[in-house]
A and B are shown apart, each in its own frame.
Chain A
Amino acid sequence: DAKTTQPNSMESNEEEPVHLPCNHSTISGTDYIHWYRQLPSQGPEYVIHGLTSNVNNRMASLAIAEDRKSSTLILHRATLRDAAVYYCIRRDAGGTSYGKLTFGQGTILTVHP
């Protein structure tokens, strides 16, 4: 069974970088890696996604291991508003699983002032 695993929680100080890891050891060659975050009482919100190469956007960076079995979401300078649950998601791209998503259990990020 495909698994996507994340640490339950992490802590950071404001203005410091945060590296949130995710393991997806059974990922196939065409599956995409997505990251979303969820604030209290809200639906998940898109952060970033990628396939093989590292990706950057205004919110974060995504570093994908060369073997694609793991990835790391990087918040370059954490703010108090970044405190949320961060989900790593594998989006199937092949065959009969096209359209399926597998969520990691989420990492609760606490940011200290």
Chain B
Amino acid sequence: EAQVTQNPRYLITVTGKKLTVTCSQNMNHEYMSWYRQDPGLGLRQIYYSMNVEVTDKGDVPEGYKVSRKEKRNFPLILESPSPNQTSLYFCASSPQGHPNEKLFFGSGTQLSVL
């Protein structure tokens, strides 16, 4: 089944403890991206990647890192998480990143930073 898989589904951590949220897609998509969703603010793009080794900042990249070493995976790294990064995170992919393509979203990762 074609899908975008995020892990973990839920994560509770403490301030400053490095963490990684994984995102994997099995559709051979070139484009992948990360979003955070917060009450009253909706969804905001964090980073996106047009292809392997190509990443760019979205609207809210501060405090996050990404890497794209292989096509199927696009992990989101929080090197020193803070409470304001408590949020619901989504990963998405599309075939080549063209604006005419639909996006496929994962089921989300609920992160709590204490």
Contact = CB atoms under 8 A, between A and B. Distances in A.
Interface string A12-32: 000000000000000000111
B31 interface: yes
A80 interface: no
Interface in A1-52: 30-32, 34, 36, 41-46, 49, 51
Bin chain A's interface residue count: 20 to 34
A45 B99 CA distance: 16
Given A99-B50, A99-B97, A101-B33, A49 B102 contact: yes
Interface stretch (B13-21, B68-76, B105-113): B105-113
B99 A46 contact: no
Given A32-B99, A43-B90, A99 B56 contact: yes
Nearest to A32: B99
Bin chain B's interface residue count: 20 to 34
B102 A99 contact: no
Contacts of B44: 103
B31 A99 contact: yes
Contacts of B90: 43-44
B78 interface: no
Contacts of A99: 31, 33, 48, 50, 56, 97
Contacts of B104: 46
Given A44-B43, A46-B102, A49-B100, A102 B59 contact: yes
Contacts of A100: 45, 48, 56, 58-59
A5 to B, nearest CB: 11
A104 B56 contact: no
B12 interface: no
A49 B48 CA distance: 20
Nearest to B103: A46
Contacts of B35: 103
Interface of A: 30-32, 34, 36, 41-46, 49, 51, 87, 91-93, 98-106
Given A36-B103, A102-B59, 8 more contacts: A30-B99, A51-B100, A91-B99, A99-B97, A100-B45, A101-B58, A103-B42, A106-B43
